């Protein structure tokens, strides 16, 4: 399948396919015809692009995905290593979730203040010293 076909089937752009190939995430596509420059991608390349998409959706970076692909191809990725990688990613996701909860709480606080006509007045040192609220009439 040519680049347009594989990109469409995988739901990515042609540039993404090229980028993954340059990054070594895909095997080099073959050029079976010497009269044109078209590359032909295999069904394995399509499955690899889908795997990359799933990995990204789960929060893995391209570097982490590349490491797993390399280890997988070398049959070096033992079950305990797979478990460790996934557990590490779960912990990272948990940390992000905690950070997002703090951000959400801060945004909710700001929304309440804005809606009620309150604002924070900053002190000389950049600290919030007082909260001034306008009375609603």
Q: What is the DSSP string of 58-90?
A: TT--HHHHHHHHHHHHTT---HHHHHHHHHHHH
- 7 membership: H or E segment, kind and range: helix 3-10
pLDDT at 118: 79
Same domain, 84 and 52: no
Supply 6's token pair.
Answer: 């594989």
By C-alpha distance, which of 128, 111, 108 is closest to 120? 128
Given a cut of 80, whether residue 94 has pLDDT beyond it is yes
Given a cut of 60, whether residue 61 has pLDDT beyond it is yes
Domain containing 24 equals: 1-57
Total residues found in the chain within this entry: 137
CATH assignment at residue 48:
1.10.1660.10
For residue 46, being part of any structural domain is answered with: yes
Mean pLDDT of 26-41: 80
Is the pTM here over 0.75, yes or no?
no
pLDDT at 123: 43
């Amino acid at each position: 399948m040519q680049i347009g076909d594989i990109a469409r089937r995988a739901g990515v752009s042609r540039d993404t396919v090229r980028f993954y190939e340059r990054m070594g995430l895909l095997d080099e596509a073959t050029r079976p015809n010497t009269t044109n420059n078209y590359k032909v991608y295999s069904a394995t390349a399509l499955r690899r692009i889908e795997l990359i998409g799933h990995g990204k959706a789960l929060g893995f970076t391209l570097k982490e995905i590349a490491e797993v692909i390399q280890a997988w191809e070398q049959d070096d990725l033992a079950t305990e290593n797979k478990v460790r990688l996934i557990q590490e990613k779960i912990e990272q996701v948990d940390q992000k979730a905690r950070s997002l909860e703090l951000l959400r709480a801060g945004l909710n606080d700001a929304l309440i203040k804005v809606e009620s006509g309150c604002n924070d007045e900053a002190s000389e040192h950049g600290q919030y010293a007082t909260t001034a609220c306008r009375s609603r009439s």
